[in-house]
Chain A
Amino acid sequence: MRLLLVLVKPLPLTVIKKILNKTIEGVLMLSSTITTLTVLLIVLFLFKEGVSVFKESPLDGDNVIVLNNQNDVNHLSAADIKKIFDQETTNWKLVGGANDSILLFTFNDLSNYFSEEELGPEFEYLPHKMDSLIEANPGMIAVFSKKYLDKNHKSKVATIDNISPKTFLLGKEWFPTANPAVQLGVLPLILGTLYVSIVAILIALPIGLATAIYIAEVAHPKIRAIYKPVIELLAGIPSVVYGFFGLIVIVPLIQKIFDLPVGESGLAGAIVLAIMALPTIITVTEDALRNTPRAMKEASLALGATQWQTIYKVVIPYSASGISAAAILGIGRAIGETMAVLMVTGNAAVMPHSLLEPLRTIPATIAAELGEAPANGIHYKALFGLGCILFIITMVINIWVETISKRRVNR
């Protein structure tokens, strides 16, 4: 009887509290673990897909490149193939072979060589015919599907380089849909991204700094109360709206001022990005300026320094690390921006020579091309590779900000 009473006794309040605390602790731990895992999973997924581009042959689909058996050339790179099929390279000498002109053969040329009867129903005689044709022409290079390769072929199949990290990063041509070999050089995209972002920062930093100084140090509190929320509002405008504004206002303006055939250009992108980076730069800089201890400013003023002398001799040096953090955060914002840049830069994936020409950034490329790239194809994987590059750039920037802010704390 006694035992039973103990069992039905309600739990004491302290025990309930303890259980509640443990539950809350558990929920908190779980959510932070899930978040961290998700982030790691995304990074892992990105890199797994991105790195797999280096395992792919640049040849489109299941095609093979077939050469005459006598040809000294065994091995071709994607760039060589493109040049040959664009008829820029017309002699085997240029790709390391004998002095002999190159004869192209693609599937479109089929009817020039064979009649329909010769090929038989469903091309059943084609493999043999192809083999003989290539053997008859020492300078021939043929591209066709692997299934038409004769089982006992006398002609030889050229080995093609996989995409190497070097050609990927330093290649100057981005033609992910080129036939028969895709060209995946991301240098123009990386440069496009950096050009636009750096110019954007060069525009935004002086304006942002001036605005922040005005708001933090000079403006009457009533003016500050109007300006600050308006600038913060700027950060909340969706980027398509900026893009739209750029397209309607800035692009025609640039076209008119510089008398260009098209106004879509790196400069238009840089200006739109500069406007977008302004709120970040202003807010972070203003915070840094306002963190200058009152005692420092008073010490300067008490020595007979004017307000301006105090600003540039005490306030700005004191908040220098905060200001640089603002600049880097602004660059980070600019580098990752997709939509607005996509709308105003003209999207030409060529090496940028001038800011007045169309160019293309990494995020814009991913956004524009992912929809048309077949899943798991080489193009698709190359876009993930671009994502990895972008991730690394922004991570470096974040670490940079981190170290600068730490320096500020340590001082």
Chain B
Amino acid sequence: MYKIESKNVNLHYGSFHALKGINMAIEKNTVTALIGPSGCGKSTFLRLFNRMNDLIDGVKIEGECLIDGKDIYSKSIKIDDLRKRVGMVFQKPNPFPKSVFENVAYGLRVNGITHKNFIEERVEVCLKQAALWDEVKDKLKKSAMALSGGQQQRLCIARALAIEPSVLLMDEPASALDPISTAKIEELIYDLKNLYTIIIVTHNMQQAGRVSDSTAFFYLGELVEFDSTKKIFTNPTDVRTQNYITGRFG
């Protein structure tokens, strides 16, 4: 069984047809990169899986989105339970204006966990997983806003990991960061693959090539090509994919 599946998904923003009949199946513990020019629907597709699109007025979704074989848009799914299983890291680092510790603990607290030792342990584990522990272990009580952009983004990753999701959605997680921070995030994604199924939206071809196992190319709301990263970057089937990855448009 695939971890994540979309079956003939169509999405409309009002009269705009943003996703056109997307079929995709993603294996467990892999990294999938979504690439394509701006406005091609890759972020919209990503946000299908934690139902973030629901927040926007006038969105209409057809088709089936499955995680572990269950339709996440069925009435029996509670939306906040779904989001506990599907973590998300946003394009811009968006820590809460709270302490470093409270940022990571937030997801646990809203899930009703009050056990102090458990929270402390979990915060430490997640900060270590996000390769941030050594840098912040002395300033856990300091405001997260005082961290650098790269540290803030890793904090957001740690925050998403704290509630132990099985899927991690990343929407251009390194686009606002400098090359060193980007390298750290990429390393992290590579390490996290063993524990999570990751989908990452990126504009950076090299990044997609470095971190992902398979790559999906979106163009004008269509899924043009979805294959192993190696195949997409060396021998793409579709001429549009070829043009995009060689930088002829987009």
Contact = CB atoms under 8 A, between A and B. Distances in A.
Interface of A: 221, 293, 295-296, 298-306, 309, 313-314, 317-318, 411
B107 interface: yes
B110 A303 contact: yes
A304 B52 contact: no
B106 interface: yes
Nearest to B98: A317
Interface residues of B, number: 26
B154 to A, nearest CB: 14
A304 B94 contact: no
B174 interface: no
B160 interface: yes
10 contacts: A221-B57, A298-B94, A300-B96, A300-B106, A301-B52, A302-B50, A303-B84, A304-B163, A305-B80, A314-B96
A295 B90 contact: yes
Contacts of A306: 80, 110
B92 interface: yes
Interface of B: 50, 52, 55, 57, 80-81, 83-84, 87-88, 90, 92, 94-97, 106-107, 109-111, 156, 159-160, 162-163
Nearest to A294: B55
A304 B112 CA distance: 11
B110 A305 contact: yes
B160 A302 contact: yes
Contacts of A296: 94, 96
B92 A295 contact: yes
A298 B162 CA distance: 17
B55 A304 contact: no
Contact of B96 (A221, A299, A304, A411): A299
A298 B55 contact: yes
Contacts of B95: 299
B153 to A, nearest CB: 12
A304 B83 contact: yes
Contacts of A298: 52, 55, 90, 94
Given A304-B83, A313-B106, A299 B90 contact: yes
Contacts of A314: 96
B32 to A, nearest CB: 19
A298 B52 CA distance: 8
A344 B239 CA distance: 81
Contacts of B88: 302
9 tightest A-B CB contacts, nearest first: A304-B84, A303-B107, A295-B94, A305-B110, A302-B88, A304-B83, A299-B94, A309-B110, A304-B80
B94 A303 contact: no
By CB atoms of chain A within 10 A, which of B84, B87, B110, B111 has the most?
B110
A324 to B, nearest CB: 16
Contacts of B92: 295
B83 A303 contact: yes
A300 B97 contact: no
Contacts of B109: 313
A304 B97 CA distance: 18
B106 A302 contact: no
B71 to A, nearest CB: 19
Contacts of A411: 97
Nearest to A303: B107
A303 B90 contact: no
Contact of A303 (B55, B81, B97, B159): B159
A300 B110 contact: yes
Given A298-B90, A299-B156, A306-B110, 20 more contacts: A295-B92, A295-B94, A296-B96, A298-B52, A299-B90, A299-B96, A299-B159, A300-B96, A302-B50, A302-B87, A303-B87, A303-B110, A303-B159, A304-B81, A304-B83, A304-B163, A306-B80, A317-B97, A318-B97, A411-B97
Contacts of A301: 52, 55, 80, 83
